[in-house]
Amino acid sequence: MSEPRFEKLAVIGAGTMGIGIAEVFAAGGQDVKVVEISEQVFQNAMSGLKKRLQKRVERGKIRQEFAEKVLKRVRYVPDIRELVDADLVIEAIVEKLDVKQNIFHELAEVTSPNTILASNTSSLSITSIASAARHPERVMGIHFFNPASRMQLVEVVLGAETAPSLAEQVKRWLKELDKEPVIVKDTPGFLVNRIARPFHLEAYRYVQDQIASKEQVDRIMRTAGFRMGPFELQDLIGIDINFAASVSVFEGNFYDARYRPHPLQRQMVEQGAIGRKAGRGHYSYEK
């Protein structure tokens, strides 16, 4: 193939998503550098990955040699200045625009203009992140879902300045990594977080307007084939996370009524009833 393959890969950030994305590349047979300011954070993430792989070995899902190879392919790098020759870099750090813009500005200075600079953001504008970088036409979104190793969907997001030819190129490469990529224009929430909004938000209205109880709504949606109803699902995701996603899509659309969050949602966050991780949310999980 004449097409350039992405051989030299890097991930910025060794949080849940960062290390998960690195795992996807490594499991697909590719070496990957992980940039993280704190080596301790990286080491902790690696021991987490090691444990997860070990479990899969014990369950007979993968072989021991494969697990070892995956771990060997993930390499620690303390500084983004070591990414001079990278073909593709994915950033997976905190969801703060100014922090991401600083990183992209720096990345654009260090790398060649042909290096693809991608963000794993789920809620920020790619166009806005790209505006901080030299050659914004090579900046795009590559949005993996959590857990990255198991969730097949990847949203390939094109900012206003992104070169359209990159979409197909990145899509083909992701397919080789056994993912299911979709191409989406840069709009608030992209596809999944945007289209799923009513599933969550309308549910609060049913309860507030006395149309149905939470148990009823969940039961009805399960009958319809959803694995979980909106309230059970929010307890699993975290009501705080779900509320933040709602607010971000609402603000991103200049307060269009279609995305209006619900006061009950905020109240749950205010009272600390944010789901399973707090022992209580829409339902109680206390022992």
Partner 1 sequence: MKNEVIVLGTGPLANRMGRFLEERGCQPVRADEKPRSDALALIDITAGMEGEKKTSLLKWEQNLSPDTPVFTSVLHLTATQIASWLQHPHRVVGFSPLFFEKWDRVEVSCPLQAEGDSRFENALSLLAKWGKKAEIVGDEPGLVFPRTLALLVNEAAYCLQEKTASREDIDLAMKKGTNFPQGPLKWADDVGIDQIVAILTGLHRELGDDRYRPASLLRKMYYARYWGKAAGRGFYEYGQMSDPATGEPR
Contacts with partner 1 by CB under 8 A lie at: 145, 151-153, 155, 180, 182-185, 187, 191-192, 194-199, 202-203, 206, 209-212, 216-217, 219-221, 223-228, 256-258, 260
Q: Which helix (H) or strand (E) holds 139?
A: strand 139-144
- Nearest one of 157, 170, 163, 171 to 126, comparing CA atoms: 157
**Least Å distance between CB 10 and partner 1?**
25
Other C-beta atoms closer than 10 Å to the C-beta of 134 total: 14
**Least Å distance between CB 212 and partner 1?**
5
Is-contact 182 153, C-beta < 8 A?
yes
Report the catalytic residues: 122, 143, 155, 193
- Which of helix, strand or coil describes residue 65? helix
Nearer to partner 1, 84 or 153 (CB): 153
* C-alpha to C-alpha distances, 14 to 48, 79, 111, 197, 287, nearest whole angstrom: 11, 13, 20, 29, 33
**Least Å distance between CB 41 and partner 1?**
27
- Residue 153: beta bridge partners? 180
Nearer to partner 1, 1 or 224 (CB): 224
**d(C-alpha 122, C-alpha 252), whole Å:** 12
Nearer to partner 1, 53 or 158 (CB): 158
Nearer to partner 1, 37 or 191 (CB): 191
- Which of helix, strand or coil describes residue 30? coil
**Least Å distance between CB 260 and partner 1?**
7
